[in-house]
Structure 1
Amino acid sequence: TPLMMACTRKNLEVIQTLLEHGANPLLRNKDGWNCFHIASREGHPEVLQYLLDVSPSCWDTESTTGRTPLHTAALSCFCLLSRCQYKPDSRDSCGVTPFMDALQNGHVGIARLLLDKHQACPTAVDALGAQALHRAAVTAQDGSIRFLVSELGVDVNGRATSLQLPALHYAAKEGHGHTIQTLLSLGADVQAKDGKGRSALHVASAGQRAEAARILLRAGLQDAPDATGMLAQQLARRPDVIQAFQGTQVST
């Protein structure tokens, strides 16, 4: 709608004009978003305040995937928490909470607000069993990881999903070398194995992540068979990954 378009452009004057001429702020698009949802994504506090003034219930909405405006909020987060009655740790269809969303996108300040003003749970899990820590490892948000482990005391070796994956495995799978180093500096167990006996080296090798494999090997992780007898180096296909294993020892 024209009102939604005005919200994407953060044009308060046009928004006011449209609403004064009868635009409906509760209409939703094909994804289930109304104008307040869109304004939350754009992060314009003045627009959000105005929408709440003219339509106090517009905050109470979910998209077709269960995402509330709080999930998509940026700098507007404080406005949403102070004036809207969102439940703590509201979840979308994937079980993701606003706290997880904030940290996987590197918004530590917003995560602090959600903790202080909204009683967010730092160890809540999504539909697959992953915490904010694991999701931050996937997106290489080292600042978020430090916040969770150093300030909140989240277990850096905590496991996720039925496969019992630590955050180190997630970082290795994505090839985030600096995140692997951050996790190790925070006490991640380089020898940790998942539910199938695979080390982070197996995951890095299977994903053809040469830098990740080299970092893990330099950190003292030796190649060893998983539960099926497979070595990490047997999963290497790319020349640079194969080369990373040259001259390394195998642990039995």
Structure 2
Amino acid sequence: MDQDAVRLLVKVTQEGDFSQLLKLFQSCGPSACQLVHLGRSGDSLLHHAARHGRLDFLHFLIGDVGMELEVCNLDYKRPLHEAASMGHTACVSYLLRRGARVDCLKKADWTPLMMACTRRNLDLIQELIQHSADPLLKNKDGWNAFHIACREGDPGVVRYLLTAAPDVWRTESKTRRTPLHTAAMHGCEEVVQILLERCGYTPDAKDSCGVTPFMDAARNGHVSVARLLLAKHQASPTAADTLGAQTVHHVAVTGQEEALHFLVRELNVDVNQRATGMQLTALHYAAKEGHVSTIKTLLDLGANIHAQDKKRRTALHMASIGQHADAVRTLLQLGLDDSQDASGITARQHAKKPHIMHLFD
């Protein structure tokens, strides 16, 4: 079959023109039945039909033409992956009734259930579970379907998975992140509430970098979730990660100023608290990232503009190292003088770009 005919078959499948598909199969003859891997992705017509929710096409291609149900594309996706990832419940049901493997794996070890959990579609997830999909299976990153559901934040899906598999929450990714980390990071407050009520997570459980769910919530600006973790989970606002950085430092890195006010004004966290490793303050972190507004907020909250880290570097050094002209200009205007660090290097010397170096003139 020539490429023009193949492209036309794909086009009518995507667009859902079933009568045209029948005509093309009649005109192409037996060669149309041999079509498997089409285009760069290696998708078959079944992949296209499943992705676009064309149930009548699936009936025809599988039931009448006899195309292989478990055909894989170049990412090892089956038609069931495609239907699940796009939320087409009727297509998923049909493929399962025809005998599709419910826990087939695509590249990176994703199952159809994992892909279904990227959609807020409880009926679809129930259909897969009722056909014995295993929510405890993990992908290459160590995530199971529950991690993904907690990221998406649908309370109904989370409750259902906890009912269907009560131990599904007892899981960590390869970087030791729990579903509670995931829900907190993405600001899924109602899901966090469910997890705190129904699951036995240890307060301030740390991932492989030492990050807690409270840190995740605060550094992503989800102050209401951080409050919930404080009230219901005894989270510590001063827990430190593996580098000795506390939540106030993480929040300075991401420039979340509401969270800074929350930590310093409401929780009385020391704005000049140093990370135990390099003795960096929140001001150092904000300057290195070039967050001018955050620098000003920290100073308003009582940050010491002259604070030095373990190498005697000030925030001005950090802004120069990060090559952030606006931050350098701001710190100079606020009265911070250039100085040598412990190695005898000035902030100006850290600047690599001429327009930043000129700011020191």
TM range (shorter): over 0.9
Partners in 2 of 1:235 and 1:185 — Cα distance? 27
Counterpart of 2:115?
5
1:58-207 equivalences under 5 Å are 58-73=168-183, 74-75=187-188, 76-207=191-322
Partners in 1 of 2:331 and 2:323 — Cα distance? 14
Select 2:140's aligned residue among 20, 30, 34: 30
Select 2:338's aligned residue among 223, 226, 233: 223
Deviation at 1:230, TM superposition (A): 2.0
| Per-residue CA distance 1:214-242 (angstroms, 9 max, x = gap) | 11111111112222222211222212212
Q: Once the two structures are aligned, what percentage of the paired residues are identical? A: 62
Which ranges of structure 1 fall in alignment gaps of 5 or more residues?
247-252
Partners in 2 of 1:130 and 1:119 — Cα distance? 19
Partners in 2 of 1:223 and 1:29 — Cα distance? 50
Partners in 2 of 1:108 and 1:72 — Cα distance? 15
Which ranges of structure 2 fall in alignment gaps of 5 or more residues?
1-110
Counterpart of 1:244?
359
Calculate the aligned-residue CA RMSD, in Å.
Answer: 1.0
How many pairs are equivalent?
246
Do residues 55 (structure 1) and 165 (structure 2) align? yes
TM-score by length of 1: 0.95
Letter in 2 for 1:186: L
| Per-residue CA distance 1:68-124 (angstroms, 9 max, x = gap) | 000000321111111111000011111110001111111111100000000000000
| Per-residue CA distance 1:10-56 (angstroms, 9 max, x = gap) | 21000111111211111111111111111011111110011111111
Letter in 1 for 2:135: P
Deviation at 1:243, TM superposition (A): 2.3
Letter in 1 for 2:277: S
Per the alignment, in what secondary structure is the counterpart of residue 121 of structure 1?
coil
Partners in 2 of 1:7 and 1:206 — Cα distance? 42
Deviates more, 1:229-238 or 1:34-43: 229-238
TM-score by length of 2: 0.67
Partners in 2 of 1:134 and 1:10 — Cα distance? 34
Per the alignment, in what secondary structure is the counterpart of residue 165 of structure 1?
coil
Partners in 2 of 1:210 and 1:25 — Cα distance? 49
Letter in 2 for 1:207: G
